[in-house]
Structure 1
């Protein structure tokens, strides 16, 4: 499957809504927001979120959105920090380089704006942890029992990649 990476805007709200709902429904343990809560959000509000944050999407030649990642820059005294959020790629494109291409788009956007990019990932999510570590992110702490999902607790690893130095240094 082929795809291209592009920046999303409020014009992409319906496609964004569909893939975000898919992510929240199929992987409730990976996100703090529930699918039920997200489904209640007004489309106009989702469009505002797309315009406020920096979203990148992976799109097939047919125009289907198959992956998303967003960047949120800190404010005021935290303006040197950014956050990688709302990460999801559909199962059909996992292992194709799609997630890495999305991540590179986010990091390219972040360079010159922030010195470091942070993220949180479930400690039980070995594929995601391996992906982020391979991309130069390092664990700097663990938040125990970060979330309770379907009666079980999930710890969250907090990770960072410093953009002003080589990964692993």
Structure 2
């Protein structure tokens, strides 16, 4: 696979962001708190707002987004020192290429630069490749939220992880 670049997305990237986000939601509904149906109904302007409301990074090659990740900063006064890694998705064609590692590294570097002291995330226990990715980057499990997600009659636990910076 040819090289890729990591960059921060902005409002002008709304269409490309919408495309990859909806792909992730459709192909891996168990990996996200949101649903394909809910986000497919959003306007392009709403996607543009999402690219900046949460600091969003993408891996890109030849104008195509290969993967995305977000860092959501806490907004409550006593929690401003923390952020949450959200909306992580890497297209199948880019898996195993270093894209996921580069995206997580970028989020952690950005969090440090912003003065955060920890980044949290949630991952389902069934997502073994994602769990290995986060473990490689120093995220440790601090709890399990039983039945955090429900799709139809199926429930999924969330494995809660933290990376102290």
> Could you say whether these structures have the same fold, taking a TM-score greater than 0.5 normalized by the shorter chain as the test?
yes
Whether the 8 Å contact between 2:143 and 2:159 is mirrored in structure 1 is: yes
Aligned with 2:49: secondary structure?
Answer: helix
Q: How many residues align?
A: 162
After superposing on structure 2, the runs of 4+ consecutive aligned residues of structure 1 that deviate more than 3 Å are none
* Structure 1 Cα separation of the partners of residues 5 and 37 of structure 2: 30
* Structure 2 Cα separation of the partners of residues 28 and 45 of structure 1: 20
Partner in structure 2 of residue 22 of structure 1: 23
Partner in structure 1 of residue 88 of structure 2: 87
Partner in structure 2 of residue 159 of structure 1: 161
Match for residue 145 of structure 2 among 140, 143, 146: 143
Consecutive unaligned residues of structure 2, counting only runs of 5 or more, are none
Partner in structure 2 of residue 166 of structure 1: none
Of the structure 1 ranges 148-157 and 63-72, higher mean CA displacement relative to structure 2 is found in 148-157
Deviation at 1:114, TM superposition (A): 0.6
Alignment map for 1:8-157 (pairs within 5 Å): 8-60=9-61, 62-75=62-75, 76-112=77-113, 113-157=115-159
CA shift digits 1:108-151 (9 cap, x unpaired): 11004210000000121111111111110000000001111132
Consecutive unaligned residues of structure 1, counting only runs of 5 or more, are 164-169
* Structure 2 Cα separation of the partners of residues 49 and 33 of structure 1: 13
CA shift digits 1:55-100 (9 cap, x unpaired): 100000x200110000011121110110000000001111111101
Aligned with 1:32: secondary structure?
Answer: coil
Of the structure 1 ranges 111-120 and 15-24, higher mean CA displacement relative to structure 2 is found in 111-120
* Structure 2 Cα separation of the partners of residues 51 and 130 of structure 1: 28
Whether the 8 Å contact between 2:82 and 2:119 is mirrored in structure 1 is: yes
* Structure 1 Cα separation of the partners of residues 84 and 64 of structure 2: 25
Using the size of structure 2 for normalisation, the TM-score is 0.95
